[in-house]
Chains A and B, each alone.
Chain A
Amino acid sequence: MTDSHDHTPAVVEEPIANPGLPAHTWRPTDLDEGAATRAERQVAGFFGLSMVCAVLFVVAYFTLEIGDNFDTFIGLGASTVAPGLALGGSLLFIGIGIIQWARKLMGDHEISELRHPAGSPAEDRDAAVSDIMQGIEESGIGRRPLVRNSLLGAMGMMGLPAIVLLRDLGPTNARVANAENGTGLQHTIWKKGMRVVRDVVGTPIKASELEIGDLVNAAPEAQFPTEANGYPEIEGVELQVLKAKGAIIVVKMEPEEIKPVEGRENWTVDGVICYSKICTHVGCPISLYERTTHHVLCPCHQSTFDLADGAKVIFGPAHRPLPQLPPAVDEEGYLIAQADFDEPIGASYWEREKQ
């Protein structure tokens, strides 16, 4: 590139002599018209292959059998492999053709560009600064502090509508927390007398029918409202929240294996013990339970809780034991809750320790 502007190179005095560009080497296609024609045909050939692949895709899409009696291709289902290969080939051959074109036929000569200083000339900078200073002078912003301060005040107050609108994006925990209907972060739907039912099927659990080593993935009965149990219909977000907070795991072990936590001596029914299914680290549902060790493992970050020892954390990033739900048995022999959890379930949140 010729140096037509008055910009001088960054380094004028070179410490070592400029060796210049190495001697140009030539491609066969630059020298031999026959080679160039061959390269042109290769490029066109790749584009042609791409067209063939596109047609093959359409043919494969419409002719290959799917369903019970599907065609196979190298041991795999032809209806997925063949269109995939054809579409991939179609794209690949366009790419290969373009690379071949660029490397063999497009112009091939060395260029060099010198670096120039990036800054504007001094007189341009002086002119810009004097324009700004003149603007400040003419607006009188320095001489009239009342105007300046009231402008700053107006711009600050513009933030108020934003704060008011953001506040309404969601209810705060303090506003929705209600122990009676189990809303808010520190309460769940569980309450005294609510039956413990099997998750998904919603049938109640007879405590006497459970055997040592059983693991029941259970839910509050309010999650399965029927006319018989009289719980109100619930749907949408409220149902999801109920499920997310109410899920529990019920295990039965030899009663003498359970080390009761102080103050929770009567929180088991004949070896049946219930814990929140929601990990206290970041709230994954956990039920990887080993009956031999009584450990339950969280699949997300490997927090491990010992259910025989008050769900104490024995490994992993969780900070607190799983909250325990006190069970009882109603007059028909079914498992019920004695009360809601006595602490918030799941992951930590800001105000948790202040409760």
Chain B
Amino acid sequence: MGCASCHGQNGEGISTIRDGYEKGPSLVGVGAAAVDFRVETGRMPLAQPGSQAPRKQPTYSDEEVAAMAAYVASLAPGPAIPTEQDYSIEGLSDDEREEAIVRGGQIFLTNCTACHNFNGGGGAMPRGGYAPSLKGVESKHIYEALLTGPQAMPNFSNGNLSPEEKRDVIAYLRSIEDTPNYGGFGMGGLGPVSEGLFAWVLGIGGLVGFAVWIAAHTTRSTKQPIEEGAEA
């Protein structure tokens, strides 16, 4: 009911009259992982057409999502919903975990930072699109996004990044969240660009304002010296 108006009653997708445009793409072969990601993060059902479906409060309960995912998975084989074993480094020794985080960081910096920023903060994309922030996103959803490539994002299927490599990327993202944050303002985590802008505009601007304020105030008064002898 919630999906058929765009994706068709059998999940076959609905094309528009204009060639190459569609109201909703076919769901055949997208797999349970794609359904789980889009519905659990609230991206689907779509509230309104736009350049990109935003993350929002999910509409369906967990059982409903599971049922929809199972139905879509039955249409054609596709990526399954990953289990905790796939994306967690809980079972590893401390050394193995550290190794996973370091490797995950290198993979992240090579494959993901172009769009998602080197701290996972997200960034702008052409024509009103954006790469969303990865902060606070559930590990399962990151894994599913890698597997299925939501919207304009390319996918990182198992033939592209192995399951262990995906797990390591998630371990790296979790490790940046665990790093103690000594406060201050993130300013987008963009490093010298935003910090420099802040220092030049607000910092130096504030100093210029202070100097103007000093110069605009005089210490002189209307008092005149009292003539000698005038004192009583």
Contacts and interface: CB of A to CB of B under 8 A. Distances in A.
A25 B221 CA distance: 7
Interface stretch (B40-48, B86-94, B148-156): B148-156
A77 B180 CA distance: 10
Interface in B152-201: 152-162, 165, 180-184
B219 A217 contact: no
A247 to B, nearest CB: 9
Contacts of A213: 149, 154-155
A209 interface: yes
A214 B151 CA distance: 13
A27 B153 contact: no
A354 B125 CA distance: 37
A166 interface: no
Interface residues of A, number: 52
B19 to A, nearest CB: 14
A201 B169 CA distance: 12
B2 interface: no
B115 A103 contact: no
Given A214-B155, A214-B156, A287 B111 contact: yes
Interface stretch (A180-188, A224-232, A234-242, A293-301): A293-301
Interface stretch (A51-59, A67-75, A149-157): A67-75
A290 B125 contact: yes
A76 B126 contact: no
A256 to B, nearest CB: 12
Interface residues of B, number: 39
A94 B223 CA distance: 29
B106 interface: yes
Nearest to A251: B154
A160 to B, nearest CB: 44
Contacts of B68: none
A291 B183 contact: no
Contacts, number: 121
A198 to B, nearest CB: 8
A27 B224 CA distance: 9
A103 B183 contact: no
Contacts of A214: 149, 154-157, 159-160
A291 B153 contact: yes
B80 interface: no
B152 A293 contact: yes
A290 B152 contact: yes
Contact of B107 (A79, A201, A215): A201
B159 A211 contact: yes
A134 interface: no
Given A80-B182, A201-B103, A217-B111, 18 more contacts: A26-B220, A27-B221, A28-B219, A72-B183, A80-B184, A81-B184, A198-B160, A199-B110, A201-B165, A211-B155, A211-B159, A213-B149, A214-B149, A251-B154, A291-B149, A291-B154, A292-B151, A297-B126
A216 B180 CA distance: 33
B209 interface: no
Interface in B93-150: 103, 106-107, 109-111, 114-115, 125-126, 129, 149
